[in-house]
Amino acid sequence: MTLDKKVDRTSLRKKLVGSEMTAVVVVGLIWMIFQILVASQILMLTPYRVRIAHLGFALIMVFLMTPITTKSRFSHVGSINYLLVLITIVVFLGSYLRYSKLVQMAGRNEPIDIVLSILTIVLMYEGARRVASRGLVILSLIVFAYVFLGPYIPGTLRTNTFSLSRIMGHLILSGEGVYGFALGVSAETIVIFVIFGALLQEVGIADYFYDLSNTIAGNSSGGPAKVAVLSSSLMGMVSGETSANVATTGAFTIPLMKKVGYSDDFAGAVECSASAGGQILPPVMGATAFMLADTLGIPYIKLAVAAILPAILYYVSVFFTVHFRAVKKNLKGSGVAKKEWLNLLKRSYLMLPLVLIVVLLVIGYTPTFAAFWGGIVSAVALSFIKKETRLSPAKIVKVLFSAAKTAMALGVATAVVGIIVGTFSLTGITMTLARMIFTLTGGIMFLTLLLTAVVAIILGMGLPTSAAYVLASISAAPALTMLGIGLLPAHLFVFYFGCMSTITPPVATGAYTAAAISGGNPNRIGLQSMKLAIAGFIVPFIFIYSQDLLITSGINVMATIFSFVVTGFGLVYLAAFFEGAFLSSVSKVQRILFLGIALALIWPNVIVSIIGAIAGVVSLVFMIIQYMKNKPMVTPISASAM
């Protein structure tokens, strides 16, 4: 099999059969079992060795499952790939065994270590070429070349001269580069959440999320879109990747949205925006949030508490946008949702894994421990309550192999990011870039925030959220701290825009996944997603200027409540402006009024926000009076819900 039409090469997988497929499945199972043994602490290894094994298995999976080019045969592994697998085994087994010797040499290395390091880089880039975005690979190669060319570049970007031994020692043989914290979080935390996410599909928890959302909102105006918002937020917390979430929940929600009258593009956009937000929604927030907490050296639960109000505001905006679209288009509910609260209550035990994860995190256990014992172990135990969800050997194989296929791309991508992180720390260019941003914006906070947001979005295009965050955190976040902004709000700021990059054209990986389901245009879906997710682009600016939105120690409770209420109210009016509806369709003049009210409410000034609130209340009262007089055909949600 070959492909003649243009395709996304990073999504290509071989269609193997027979003994070759069996071999690939066995490799995937061994890898995931290894990760489970490490997470459960049954197998005790140093972090460096865990990361070597993680990347080695990921590359073996890549070489077995992906074609060299789009013209390659898809029905067989191929001799070149088998050779690459053999070289990978030798190189990574050698690196694993050399670790003890490297520790004894205390930073020194031998020629064999340099050879193994060079081969590691070659294998890593070949794997990345197949499964990582082209932008990430090119950027990483440019940064890697900078280590060698830096001494010849004039001006502020000039660096010291480094020997090959020093470069390989820093980028490969230490914990600063490829085997640094980015790959570490993938190897020790993200992979466990990937397994947990795959497990949710088989034990009925994902179905419970959907049924719960459908019961709550399915029969309301534009119900399927609201179901997508609710169910995708729940699944997004665990999956940690927009595209994976779109593929999971979108298979159910997008067809239903189209059935009640939403366009192909809007249906895909709703799923995209809701899925992207799952990564910023506590209590779990997706696996990348654990990377953020690890970077800042703070307990994860502190991050989750700080992020809860901005996340609620995000979903308030998305929810009301789809509601106002339904009002404007006179769209009904799906007509199939059943109010089965008693049945849902009987199945509420399926929420136990998420509850246990949160409880263990609050107590102080590590994310890996919480995800394994609170998530995976409890989910497996719960699966045996009902016969239809019971995990058979075939289901276990399906879960682990599915997790391995997802983890291989993440593992390789974070390793490539490690080259960038290691180069930045070796050359000291991090603060140089921060000073360049600071100088370019003249130290003006708004301009610095705006440029930082643009940089974070561009760096994150086409990347897994974890990789997008790491790149933004080392290149853009330092510019914010130079302005006196605290580490937590600065990193949360770039984290938000890293998440939003997955729905921002022209790359918009989530939009391409949604387009495959809805039949819409990826670019139009991406643009619609940005409008739906407008809060994701606005709220980060708000919590920088008004840090009362972030629940941290020493907050002013009244200021936090005020900021949250007026911002939420403002985002509702902004959604009404975009969609041209509130209780019913509105005129152009009213839309302009809505925009003015929204900007006043969102503006980080108490006086201006109070004026906006008064105008908003007066406008709402006027619309209620008009609505009661005109009695439109569409029955909206109650005003009290706003």
Tell me the pLDDT tens digit for each residue of 420-454.
989 988 988 877 888 888 888 888 999 999 999 98
C-alpha R_g of the chain? 25
Overall average pLDDT of the 133-144 stretch: 87
Q: Does residue 49 belong to any structural domain of this protein?
A: yes
Cα 577 to Cα 571: distance, rounded to the nearest angstrom = 10
* pLDDT for residue 10: 63
Count CA atoms within 13 Å of residue 80 on its CB side.
8
Cβ neighbours of 529 (radius 10 Å): 33
Tokens 């991406």 correspond to: 526
Q: Does residue 524 belong to any structural domain of this protein?
A: no
Q: Does residue 168 belong to any structural domain of this protein?
A: yes
Cα 410 to Cα 407: distance, rounded to the nearest angstrom = 5
Average pLDDT score, the chain? 85
Tokens 């769209």 correspond to: 331
Q: Does residue 152 belong to any structural domain of this protein?
A: yes
Domain boundary among 174, 200, 229: 174
Q: Does residue 262 belong to any structural domain of this protein?
A: no
* pLDDT for residue 73: 81
**552 pLDDT more than 70:** yes
* pLDDT for residue 26: 96
C-alpha angle 203/209/214, rounded to 5°?
Answer: 135
* pLDDT for residue 448: 92
Q: Quick one: pLDDT band at residue 204, thresholds 50, 70, 90?
A: confident
Tokens 């890898």 correspond to: 31
Q: 323 is written with which tokens?
A: 């509601």
Q: Which of 183-197, 283-297, 526-540, 606-620 is predicted with the least confidence, judged by mean pLDDT? A: 283-297
Range of the domain at 33: 9-174
**Overall number of domains in the chain:** 2
DSSP code at position 41: T
Give backbone dihedrals phi and psi of 585, rounded to 5 degrees, phi first: -60, 145
**590 pLDDT more than 60:** yes
Q: Quick one: pLDDT band at residue 459, thresholds 50, 70, 90?
A: confident
Domain boundary among 154, 174, 194: 174
CB 60 within 8 A of CB 88: yes
* pLDDT for residue 14: 82
Percentage of the chain with pLDDT > 70? 92
Domain boundary among 159, 174, 189: 174
Cβ neighbours of 467 (radius 10 Å): 30
Q: Does residue 383 belong to any structural domain of this protein?
A: no
* pLDDT for residue 387: 81
Query: If we measure between CA atoms, which residue out of 140, 131, 234 comes closest to residue 178?
Result: 140
CB 609 within 8 A of CB 603: yes
CB 498 within 8 A of CB 469: yes
Cα 360 to Cα 364: distance, rounded to the nearest angstrom = 6
Overall average pLDDT of the 388-416 stretch: 90
**4 pLDDT more than 50:** no
* pLDDT for residue 32: 96
Q: Does residue 91 belong to any structural domain of this protein?
A: yes
Name the pTM for this structure. 0.80
* pLDDT for residue 2: 47
Q: Does residue 579 belong to any structural domain of this protein?
A: yes
Q: Which residue type, as a one-letter code, is found at position 553?
A: S
Overall average pLDDT of the 574-591 stretch: 90
Q: 116 is written with which tokens?
A: 């193994």
Overall average pLDDT of the 155-181 stretch: 89
Query: If we measure between CA atoms, which residue out of 271, 334, 266 comes closest to residue 524?
Result: 266
